[in-house]
Amino acid sequence: MVPEIERPRVPPAPPRDQQPQPLAATLPATPFAAEPLLPLAEPIAPAPDSNPLQITIELRKLTITVMNATLSYRLTLTNGGAEPLEEIAVAADLVGAHSSLPREAQLAGPATELPQRHRLAGIAPGESGEVTGELRLPLHEVRPIAQGQAALFVPLARFRVDAQGREPRCFTLVAGQPSPSGNGAVQPVRLDLGPRIYDGLAGRAF
């Protein structure tokens, strides 16, 4: 099943002059298990024995234009093991959640083919590497979710991180607006309001 999203309340877009602090999610060791959002400065949890690569992701902003939806992000990759990690590759894309799509078209897994975005030669034990980028999805490929007169979009950022000799770390991050109730839920963004920029995003990793 796809990540559960709070039933939308069709919120207006946030004012552009607001500059809330970005949020980050530390990925769990078990693929597709939900993890609450954490501040970027939160200490990274110990790595599982099977894979020393720990990943922290920060959502920066979501830009909606007449042509595309663009999600900007920052990944911090940390080697929690005793040996160097080499030939690290980060692949990712952006899709939209929809009940008509199969699970494998929405969530990243070991067999998911994604376009490569970044390469790092290696990370020494206890060290970290950082990459930033943007994921772009043409709006004509989005299947909007109808809610009354509103057309809603649930962005799903799919990632696969490989290191030489290690199993890939695969995860999907659902991005959107934070719920007004403050319960940590994620709300979709509206496409029917026209071009705008969403800052202060909420997200949840699976």
pLDDT for 14-53, tens place per residue? 454 443 333 344 443 322 233 333 333 222 234 455 689 9
- Provide the domain count of the chain: 1
Is 16 within a domain? no
Tokens of 131: 């990459």
DSSP states along 143-206: -PEEETTEEEE-EEEEEEEE-TTSPPEEEEEEEEEEPTT-SS-EE-EESTT-SEEE-S-EEEE-
Whole-structure pTM value? 0.77
Tell me which residue range forms the domain holding 111: 24-205
d(Cα 206, Cα 45) in Å, to the nearest integer?
16
Is 69 within a domain? yes
Is 130 within a domain? yes
d(Cα 95, Cα 150) in Å, to the nearest integer?
19
Q: Which residue has better confidence, 156 or 49?
A: 156
In DSSP terms, which residues pair with 79 in a beta bridge? 53
Give the pLDDT of residue 123. 97
pLDDT, one tens digit per residue, over 63-79 is 999 999 999 999 999 99
What average pLDDT is seen over the chain?
79
d(Cα 135, Cα 127) in Å, to the nearest integer?
26
Is 8 within a domain? no
Is 173 within a domain? yes
d(Cα 200, Cα 59) in Å, to the nearest integer?
8
Give the pLDDT of residue 147. 87
Contact between 78 and 127 (Cβ < 8 Å): yes
Nearest to 12 by CA among 200, 206, 203, 198: 198
Is 4 within a domain? no
CATH assignment at residue 195: 2.60.40.10
What is the average per-residue pLDDT within 161-172? 91
Is 154 within a domain? yes
**Mean pLDDT lowest for which of 47-51, 79-83, 92-96?**
47-51
Is 17 within a domain? no
